[in-house]
């Protein structure tokens, strides 16, 4: 049963607190990582102000070959986290061999792949259809000799000159916007051969390879995560690059195949239960999950539907791109006019923002309301004794601090969780895009003047007692 009651807002309900010394003592306990009690909004704000970086969670020594190990680097994905962080949370919090792990926002499947590699059962949702395809392929090892044979056959078929290009008609205008005639036809021929493959697992593997090359074959500005055209760009040749990509993925599959326990490989359907769907309503049994490890979307930072539009149009994954966008949490296409979040910290942020922009204030409100529903859902599906770990950073929009992590810490409590631990970690520059446009809050890789760096993120951990 979720506990919606707000903790007492004053500090005097906590032990003997009435002096600054006692508050400091509490904060010190918090810095020493593990607490497990109810915090008022004021205490949460103070706690975060005094939190120090926990260097053990920076993973500064990790090279790209570590963060992109196994199948983790099949496909680029914005704001993905690193497997080392996930694995460390597994090490600290999973004590049973046959654990069940969940990620409500699995993205490109970092948590899911790592869970499968350990022999855990993995479940989760993502509203992004391309995320589902990528995650499914990354976490399904294919028998290597069989895959090698299949890839060799595919490459041979691609050499045929007479192939009829398969180009999805529904989004032809968008396709023409991003691709030259020659490249469009070459991609269409590849797609034709991919769809001739009868084995769905292998076909999906090809589709991920196909999706992963689209950006470099298009005139999408290569360094940008935003849909920006670069009319001077020289796009890559689809045949050359798909071949390279398939051979790279073939090697990665072999490594992953040897890592995944045999009993998982042979029963992958039983171990892998991921769905395209809404994190607020997961098809997962109540009281069944041992650990949730996830990183949530951010308010108006990434429009995932836009970012993956090249894959969405080529793989014909959405009938109506506009409607599709509204299903994403954190999108700027959403507002709940008469509803407020339960979090007091969230309401303070919304009130401040209302003075600058009503629209942005509504978007922030919608984001926190959605996230509160996700926390309720996390509480429902976790076993007693289970934990949810939300990785989140703070942002600045229109000059106002959007204290996502503080709001998450407060909100988790209203869903019934005890705030168990908060870890403040550095994000090494080489791993994640560090900059956001100050005006829009969107992540940016560009050297625009108006950007702010946020080198920190938090892991906010709730315990279901
Ligand atoms: C920060 S990303 C997660 C990245 C992931 N941790 C990884 O390593 O790839 C957030 C994800 O939330 C997804 N998302 C947005 N709204 C959603 C919703 N309503 N339900 C489920 N997933 C959603 C986005 O599609 C995106 O993949």
pLDDT, residue 133, reads: 97
Name which residue sits closest to atom 7 of ligand 1, judged by CA. Answer: 80
Ligand 1: which of 107, 301, 363 to mutate, most ligand atoms within 8 Å of CB? 107
Ligand 1: which of 131, 377, 442 to mutate, most ligand atoms within 8 Å of CB? 131
SS3 161: coil
Q: Is the pLDDT of residue 8 over 90?
A: no
Q: Is the pLDDT of residue 225 over 50?
A: yes
| Spacing, Cα 439 to ligand 1 middle (Å) | 23
User: Are 52 and 424 within 8 A, CB to CB?
Assistant: yes
Four-point Cα dihedral 243, 245, 248, 253, nearest 10: -110
pLDDT, residue 284, reads: 98
Q: Is the pLDDT of residue 455 over 90?
A: no
Nearest partner of 112 among 316, 264, 303, judged by Cα: 264
Q: Is the pLDDT of residue 433 over 50?
A: no
| Spacing, Cα 22 to ligand 1 middle (Å) | 40
| Spacing, Cα 361 to ligand 1 middle (Å) | 22
pLDDT, residue 450, reads: 46
Lowest mean pLDDT among 159-168, 236-245, 394-403: 159-168
| Spacing, Cα 24 to ligand 1 middle (Å) | 36
Q: Is the pLDDT of residue 435 over 90?
A: no
pLDDT, residue 431, reads: 44
Q: Is the pLDDT of residue 391 over 80?
A: yes
User: Are 137 and 130 within 8 A, CB to CB?
Assistant: no
Q: Is the pLDDT of residue 227 over 80?
A: yes
What are the structure tokens assigned to 37, written together? 């009690």
Q: Is the pLDDT of residue 7 over 80?
A: no
Q: How far is CA 112 from the centre of its chain?
A: 11
User: CB neighbours (10 Å) of residue 160?
Assistant: 10
What element of type H or E holds 451? strand 451-453
User: Are 416 and 2 within 8 A, CB to CB?
Assistant: yes
Q: Is the pLDDT of residue 306 over 70?
A: yes
Better-scored residue on pLDDT, 431 or 357: 357
User: Are 362 and 338 within 8 A, CB to CB?
Assistant: no
77 within ligand 1 shell (Cβ under 6 A) = yes
Nearest partner of 97 among 119, 122, 123, 124, judged by Cα: 119
Highest mean pLDDT of the ranges 258-262, 325-329, 431-435:
258-262
| Spacing, Cα 126 to ligand 1 middle (Å) | 6
Mean pLDDT of the chain: 87
110 within ligand 1 shell (Cβ under 6 A) = yes
Q: Is the pLDDT of residue 18 over 50?
A: no
Better-scored residue on pLDDT, 317 or 372: 372
pLDDT band at 207 (very low <50, low <70, confident <90, very high): very high
Better-scored residue on pLDDT, 6 or 219: 219
Ligand 1: which of 81, 103, 127 to mutate, most ligand atoms within 8 Å of CB? 127
pLDDT, residue 423, reads: 96
Average pLDDT over residues 123-136: 96
User: Are 405 and 452 within 8 A, CB to CB?
Assistant: no
Domain boundaries, the chain: 142-259+302-330
Give the percent of the chain with pLDDT over 70.
85
Q: Is the pLDDT of residue 429 over 80?
A: no
Separation of alpha carbons 376 and 386, rounded Å = 14
279 within ligand 1 shell (Cβ under 6 A) = yes
What lies within 8 Å, CB to CB, of 292 at 6+ separation is: 101, 102, 103, 104, 378, 381, 382, 386, 387, 388, 389
pLDDT, residue 428, reads: 66
Ligand 1: which of 126, 309, 363 to mutate, most ligand atoms within 8 Å of CB? 126
85 within ligand 1 shell (Cβ under 6 A) = no
Question: What is the DSSP track for 5-34?
Answer: PPPPSSGGGSTT--SHHHHHHHHHHHHTSE
Nearest-atom index, ligand 1, CA of 81? 8
Nearest partner of 112 among 146, 142, 145, 70, judged by Cα: 70
Better-scored residue on pLDDT, 121 or 308: 121
287 Rama sector, left if φ>0, alpha if ψ -120 to 50, beta otherwise: left
In this predicted model, what pLDDT tens digit does every residue of 309-347 receive, in sequence order?
Answer: 899 899 988 767 778 888 889 877 777 888 999 999 999
Q: Is the pLDDT of residue 449 over 80?
A: no
105 within ligand 1 shell (Cβ under 6 A) = yes
| Spacing, Cα 106 to ligand 1 middle (Å) | 6
| Spacing, Cα 223 to ligand 1 middle (Å) | 21
278 within ligand 1 shell (Cβ under 6 A) = yes
| Spacing, Cα 21 to ligand 1 middle (Å) | 41
pLDDT, residue 273, reads: 98
Nearest-atom index, ligand 1, CA of 327? 19
Lowest mean pLDDT among 174-188, 256-270, 301-315, 377-391: 301-315
| Spacing, Cα 278 to ligand 1 middle (Å) | 10
In this predicted model, what pLDDT tens digit does every residue of 48-92 receive, in sequence order?
Answer: 999 999 999 999 889 999 999 999 999 999 889 999 999 999 999
Separation of alpha carbons 422 and 391, rounded Å = 10
pLDDT band at 444 (very low <50, low <70, confident <90, very high): low
| Spacing, Cα 145 to ligand 1 middle (Å) | 33
């Amino acid at each position: 049963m979720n506990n919606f009651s707000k903790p007492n807002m004053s500090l005097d309900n906590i032990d003997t607190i009435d002096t600054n010394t006692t508050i400091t003592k509490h904060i010190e306990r918090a810095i020493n990582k593990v607490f497990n009690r109810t915090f008022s909004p004021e205490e949460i704000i103070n706690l975060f102000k005094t939190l120090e970086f926990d260097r053990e969670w920076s993973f500064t020594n990790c090279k790209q070959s570590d963060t992109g190990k196994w199948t983790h680097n099949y496909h680029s994905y914005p704001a993905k986290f690193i497997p080392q962080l996930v694995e460390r949370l597994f090490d600290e919090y999973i004590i049973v061999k046959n654990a069940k792990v969940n990620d409500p926002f699995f993205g490109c499947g970092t948590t899911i792949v790592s869970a499968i590699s350990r022999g855990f059962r993995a479940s989760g949702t993502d509203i992004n259809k391309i995320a589902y395809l990528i995650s499914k392929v990354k976490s399904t090892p294919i028998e290597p000799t069989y895959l090698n044979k299949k890839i060799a056959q595919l490459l041979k078929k691609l050499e045929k000159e007479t192939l009829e290009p398969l180009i999805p008609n529904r989004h032809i205008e968008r396709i023409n916007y991003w691709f030259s005639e020659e490249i469009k036809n070459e991609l269409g021929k590849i797609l034709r051969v991919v769809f001739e493959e009868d084995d769905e697992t292998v076909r999906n593997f090809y589709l991920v390879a196909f999706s992963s090359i689209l950006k470099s074959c298009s005139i999408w500005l290569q360094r940008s995560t935003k849909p920006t055209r670069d009319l001077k760009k020289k796009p890559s040749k689809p045949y050359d690059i798909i071949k390279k990509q398939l051979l790279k993925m073939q090697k990665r599959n072999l490594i992953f195949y040897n890592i995944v326990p045999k009993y998982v490989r042979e029963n992958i359907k039983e171990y892998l239960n991921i769905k395209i769907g809404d994190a607020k309503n997961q098809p997962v049994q109540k009281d069944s999950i041992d650990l949730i490890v996830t990183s949530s979307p951010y308010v108006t930072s990434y429009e995932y539907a836009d970012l993956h539009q090249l894959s969405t149009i080529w793989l014909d994954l959405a009938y109506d791109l506009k409607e599709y966008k509204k299903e994403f949490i954190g999108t700027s296409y959403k507002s709940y006019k008469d509803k407020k979040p339960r979090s007091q910290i969230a309401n303070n942020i919304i009130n401040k923002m209302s003075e600058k922009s009503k629209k942005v204030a509504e978007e922030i409100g919608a984001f926190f309301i959605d996230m509160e529903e996700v926390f309720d859902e996390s509480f429902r599906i976790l076993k007693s004794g289970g934990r949810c770990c939300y990785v989140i950073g703070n942002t600045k929009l229109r000059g106002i601090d959007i204290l996502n992590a503080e709001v998450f810490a407060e909100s988790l409590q209203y869903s019934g969780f005890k705030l168990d631990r908060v870890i403040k970690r550095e994000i090494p520059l080489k791993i994640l895009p560090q900059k956001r446009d100050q005006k829009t809050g969107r992540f940016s890789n560009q050297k625009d003047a108006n950007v702010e760096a946020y080198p920190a993120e938090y892991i906010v951990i709730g315990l279901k007692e």
